[in-house]
Amino acid sequence: MYCKKCLKKISNRSQFCKYCGAPTGQENQKDKEETKNEEEIKVDMKQEIEEKEKKSLSTETEEQEEQTEESSFKLRSEKDKEFPIPPRFIGIGIIVILLICIAVVVMNSSLFRSPSAMDYNDYIGVWQERAGEDVEKEGGVKLEIREIDGSTMKISMGFYDSRGERSIRAEEVGAVLKDGAAYYSFSNDGYGNSGNGVLTFHGRDIEWKSIINKDKPVHYQVVKVSNSLPKKKKQQKAEKPQKETEETSENRTDDDYILPDSDSRYLIPEDLEGMTPEELRIARNEILARHGRQFNDPALAAYFESKQWYSGDIDPETFDSQNVSELNDFELKNIDLIQSME
């Protein structure tokens, strides 16, 4: 290298120029290199220390996590010993059991019960239009379901006018039970009133369709007001002379038939004039009912069951195949005539 002052060539290791004595700067460079080396060493040591600290911290964290997991596992194990089933599953199980119990209660109620499985004895009691009112004084209808015997029901009913002018009471009326309904008919309540109707059972309510004296059908919704039944009312009859009593009895017997003499004479179209299709239908089947034929139609069955003269003991299929021959010529011809006018 060359001296920066005298510009003479000197040794690369010389710290001073041998000619002019000026410093060459070689010592500062060395010091700088040594300083630089020291700084690099410090940086490396610092990095190494930081890495060791990080590694140590990571190790401590892992140990803490392991300890936490171990503690958590121990806690879970202890809880599992106390409660083998998780609490959330217990809650879900209780809810499911409650829903099943509610479903069983609802399905067993009369509201969802099929007509064939219905227990009609649940309906025995007093029913009326408006609960909490005296319908006999304020007007309305009252129904008493008194007795259940197999497929039949005994009922009493009252239709009350608030003025007391047109009140009707029918006692011990027979009804035929079929498919969740009761079909009834009565021919004379003692005052010349007649009627028929259908009681349809809907859980806690009864839908009542009533026809009185051939008027238009009237629909009622009745609710149960009492499980206990009142004592049967005795109809008061005034004493009458023997002759008048016999005449009344004879008239009542005729009133039990739509066409009293359809089995003993040939009817003519004039005999059937003014009769409704329903009356013609009953009159035609009345001829068969006299011979003991039963009826699948609930309305017809209820109508004839209400007649004292009726004794249905032959099922329809047997009667139609074997007993039609019992009908006389009057009855056969009258059936044809009535059917042609229905």
What is the SS3 assignment for 215-276?
CCCEEEEEEEEECCCCCCCCCCCCCCCHHHHHHHHHHHHHHCCCCCCCCCCCCCHHHHCCCC
What integer pLDDT is reported at residue 306 of this predicted model? 81
State the pTM of this model: 0.48
Residues 68, 155: one domain?
no
pLDDT tens string, the chain, 342 residues long: the values are 777 778 777 777 777 777 787 777 655 555 555 666 667 777 778 777 887 777 777 776 776 776 666 666 555 555 555 555 666 777 888 898 988 988 776 665 544 555 556 788 999 999 998 888 888 888 899 999 999 988 888 999 989 887 756 688 888 888 888 888 999 888 767 677 888 899 999 888 899 999 888 788 899 999 999 998 877 654 443 333 333 334 333 443 555 788 999 999 999 999 998 888 888 999 999 999 999 999 998 888 888 888 889 988 899 999 999 988 899 999 999 999 999 988
For residue 330, being part of any structural domain is answered with yes
What integer pLDDT is reported at residue 333 of this predicted model? 94
Length of the chain: 342
For residue 231, being part of any structural domain is answered with no
Domain boundary among 95, 117, 139: 117
Residues 200, 254: one domain?
no
Task: Count Cβ atoms below 10 Å from residue 23 Cβ, excluding itself.
Answer: 14
Residues 279, 331: one domain?
yes
Between CA 58 and CA 64, with CA 60 as vertex, the angle to 5 degrees is 115
Containing structural domain, residue 191: 121-226
Residues 68, 3: one domain?
yes
What integer pLDDT is reported at residue 29 of this predicted model? 55
Q: In CATH, what number is assigned to the domain containing residue 141?
A: 2.40.128.30
Residues 93, 169: one domain?
no
Task: Count Cβ atoms below 10 Å from residue 2 Cβ, excluding itself.
Answer: 11
Residues 161, 133: one domain?
yes
What integer pLDDT is reported at residue 237 of this predicted model? 39
Task: Count Cβ atoms below 10 Å from residue 142 Cβ, excluding itself.
Answer: 20
Residues 271, 337: one domain?
yes
Q: Name 27's Cβ contacts closer than 8 Å, sequence gap at least 6.
A: 15
Residues 37, 90: one domain?
no
DSSP 68-125: HHHHHHHHHHHHHHH-SS-HHHHHHHHHHHHHHHHHHHHHHSTTT--GGG--GGGG-E
Residues 13, 77: one domain?
yes
Number of domains comprising the chain: 4
Domain boundary among 55, 81, 107: 81
Domain boundary among 117, 136, 166: 117
